[in-house]
């Protein structure tokens, strides 16, 4: 059986991406990619639960992909974060963003940005196993089901 290659490694190889020290990335850059990673994980799980209309898929997805739920999730995960992960989260949460959420408080939006920064950081370190673990635990701790 052929060994699986991580998406990140495959993308870096196929598009000749340069090696970069991600510790120098701004927290908003990390949140930018982390938002996509979180969305991809949730959408993958939702689609994996069965084929249905796009409207129904979207309805299931938005329960998870919003600032309020993400803020609640990261609050529930605080005790499980390593020191390094907590530091990345705080950097993201405290970053000054030019945008705000339409349907969330400023506090929830900032916490969600911190969570996205953490997920982006982990993804760029090729630690998708940890990304998935945190999302799974967050969903479980909130008593949600997809």
pLDDT band at residue 2, thresholds of 50, 70 and 90? low
Kindly state the tokens that stand for 50.
């069965």
Which of 35, 108, 126, 129 does the annotation list as catalytic?
35
Q: How confident is the model at residue 97 (pLDDT cuts 50, 70, 90)?
A: confident
Phi, psi of 104 (to 5 degrees): -145, 155
Catalytic status, residue 108: no
Residue-wise pLDDT for 98-146, tens only, equals: 877 788 999 999 999 999 999 999 999 999 999 999 999 999 999 998 8
- Predicted TM-score (pTM) of the model is 0.94
> For position 80, what pLDDT does the model report?
98
- Res. 4 pLDDT band, cuts 50 70 90: confident
Hunting for tokens 């945008």 — which residue is that?
Answer: 99
Q: Quick one: average pLDDT of 9-18?
A: 94
DSSP code of residue 80: G
Task: Kindly indicate whether the domain formed by 26-141 is annotated with CATH number 1.10.1520.10.
Answer: yes
Q: Where are the domains of the chain?
A: 26-141
Provide the phi-psi class of 126: left if phi over 0, else alpha when psi is between -120 and 50, else beta.
Answer: left
Tens digits of per-residue pLDDT, 50-81? 999 999 999 999 999 999 999 999 999 999 99
Residues 115 and 65: their CA atoms lie apart, in Å, by: 12
CB atoms within 10 A of CB 9: 11
């Amino acid at each position: 059986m052929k060994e699986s290659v991580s998406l990140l490694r495959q993308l870096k190889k196929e598009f000749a991406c340069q090696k970069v020290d991600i510790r120098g990335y701004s927290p908003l850059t990390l949140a930018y990619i982390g938002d996509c990673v979180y969305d991809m994980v949730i959408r993958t799980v939702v689609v994996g639960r069965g084929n249905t209309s796009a409207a129904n898929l979207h309805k299931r997805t938005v329960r998870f992909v919003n600032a309020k739920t993400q803020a609640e999730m990261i609050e529930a995960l605080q005790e499980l974060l390593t020191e390094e992960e907590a530091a990345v989260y705080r950097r993201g949460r405290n970053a000054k963003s030019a945008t705000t959420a339409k349907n969330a408080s400023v506090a929830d939006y900032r916490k969600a940005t911190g969570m996205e920064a953490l997920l982006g950081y982990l993804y760029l370190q090729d630690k998708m196993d940890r990304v998935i673990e945190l999302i799974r635990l967050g969903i479980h701790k909130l008593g949600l089901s997809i």
